[in-house]
Amino acid sequence: MIEKAVEEIKSVGVEISTSMEDRIAYCKDYNPLHLPKLLKKEFPALPHAVAFPKTTEEVSKVLQVANAYGVPVYVFGGGSGVIDAATPYEGGIAVSTLGLDFVEIDEENMLVRAGAGVVGGRLEKILNHRGFTLRHTPQSLYCSTVGGWVATAASGQFSTGYGNIENLLISLTAVLPDGEVVVERATPRRAGPDLKRIFVGSEGLLGVVTEAVMKIFPLPEEFLTLSVEYEGIGDVVRDAKALMQLKPALMRIFDDEESLRYFDSESFTLIAVFEGKGASAKLREAKEMVSGKVVDGRAEKWLEKRFDVSDISRIVPLGFIFDTIEVACFWRDAEKVYTEVLKAIRGVEGTVTASAHASHFYESGLCFYFTFAGLPADIENYYEEVWRKAVETSLRNGGNLTHHHGVGRLRKRWLSAEIGGYYPLLRDLKSILDRRNILNRGVML
């Protein structure tokens, strides 16, 4: 069937490759278990072919053919996801969205229309050149795509002030598994169910996002920083909660281990950014509000190195496994989630280090982002045990399943516990929209 599907896709004018080079390039996402396998010349999985559509219509053609033959399809943007959601374990066709790379700016209405394959760093550079910003800057900014942001319900470093991707979205265009194109008219607000939201965080299960219209903002005239140090998690969390009334554009908490790594200090650290009109007044008020010691330079140090993840490529060849687990919780549970999840990770034999920072804040709570590295005898069993203990400890202590990395394959066993009665609805929606179950098999459900 796959050979017939490939030939038919070629016949309708869509570029598709069966070369081993392309198949290897689309054999995995950025899940940490894949790199050790590649270093041993083992492939996590291999698609039978890779399609490179350049328009929504070409995506539709690929899905029409794949659906007709029942061929699995796995959707790839930048491949920067870490939850094993794009790996083509059942072969089939990997669909690259990178050819959907157009950008159109509507200055009058403060909007940008972008193809799903536009890489975040390029989009931000184009906007900055015209005096605007999306203010959506995940750590993967320079390797993740607009479509990937929507599919994983992504969150950027400035989400505290500007919101997550769902808050920036105005409208979406997507292709359903049978090839039908659904287009939403852009408008400031709409009545009725917001049906584009079924694609936000859907991880390619329900359709392929091909373009998005999003809000943009003027580049801020003022950009001021605050750095504060503390002795423990309780005081810094309480100050972070209080500072939310000033609506910082960005705020982060670093525990003692992460402060040592970033700032050569064993204290807990809070950094914040205030920008735009009134930033100076907000900064003055913030300095009066905090209970910790105001210090210099830590925010600037972090901003300078915030996209650097080069440590991973250096330690994995030495036998280490490195990953992050992010969860959200209400303010009342913050100290407990922080303490208990770290204890759970450190309790797994083979753990070398475990630390945490808080990266996204809301009026009602925050996101903790746990980082761990291990040097175990059995990498896969160790990795499985860390994830199991961390997630189950989070759920038991008031935390949730995930904040912005998604569910994928890593977290799917806990999804029904998280969303309860909505789980059957998701399953039914999948069966209605994707009757032949071709899209991203094995993900989430």
Residue 104 DSSP class: E
Cα-based distances in Å from 217 to 120, 135, 142, 186, 356: 15, 8, 20, 17, 31
> Token pair of 89, please?
């374990």
The answer to whether 345 and 370 are in contact (CB under 8 A) is yes
Tens of pLDDT along 319-335?
A: 899 999 999 999 999 99
- Is the Cβ–Cβ distance between 224 and 279 less than 8 Å? yes
pLDDT number for residue 49: 98
3-state helix, strand, coil in the chain (%, to 5): 40, 25, 40
C-alpha–C-alpha distance, residues 282 and 155, integer Å = 24
- Residue 215 CA to residue 109 CA, distance in Å, equals 9
Locate tokens 């359903």: which residue?
176
- Token pair listed for 105: 């700016």
**Residues contacting residue 193 through CB under 8 Å, at least 6 positions apart:** none
- Please enumerate, as own/partner, the contacts of 375-381 that have beta carbons within 8 Å and a separation of 24 or more: 375/318, 375/319, 375/320, 375/321, 375/350, 376/321, 376/349, 376/350, 377/350, 379/33, 379/36, 379/319, 379/321, 380/33
Q: How far apart are CA 222 and CA 379, in angstroms?
A: 47
**Which residue shows structure tokens 């908490």?**
253
Rounded (5°) CA angle 114-160-117: 20
Residues of the chain with confidence (pLDDT) below 50: none
Residue 128, pLDDT score: 98
pLDDT at residue 249, as a whole number: 98
Phi, psi of 342 (to 5 degrees): -60, -40
HEC string for 240-294: HHHHHHHCCCEEEEECHHHHHHHHCCCCEEEEEEEECCCHHHHHHHHHHHCCCEE
Amino acid type, 20: M
**Which residues, including other chains, have CB under 8 Å from residue 433's CB and lie 6 or more apart?**
176, 177, 206, 207
Predicted pLDDT at 163? 98
207 neighbors 433 (Cβ within 8 angstroms): yes
Question: Tokens 């490195």 belong to which residue?
Answer: 322
The C-alpha angle with vertex 273 and arms to 269 and 274, in degrees rounded to 5, equals 140
Contacts of 192 (CB under 8 A, 6+ apart): none
Are 338 and 356 a contacting pair, CB within 8 Å?
yes
Residue 196 is predicted with a pLDDT of 96
pLDDT of amino acid 319: 86
What pLDDT does residue 114 have?
98
Amino acid at the residue 224: L
The alpha carbon torsion through 255, 257, 258, 264 (nearest 10 deg) reads 110
Strand 16-17 relative to strand 49-51, pairing:
antiparallel
- Name 432's Cβ contacts closer than 8 Å, sequence gap at least 6: none
> 17 pairs with which residues across the strands?
50
* pLDDT for the residue 232: 96
Count of positions (residues) in the chain: 445
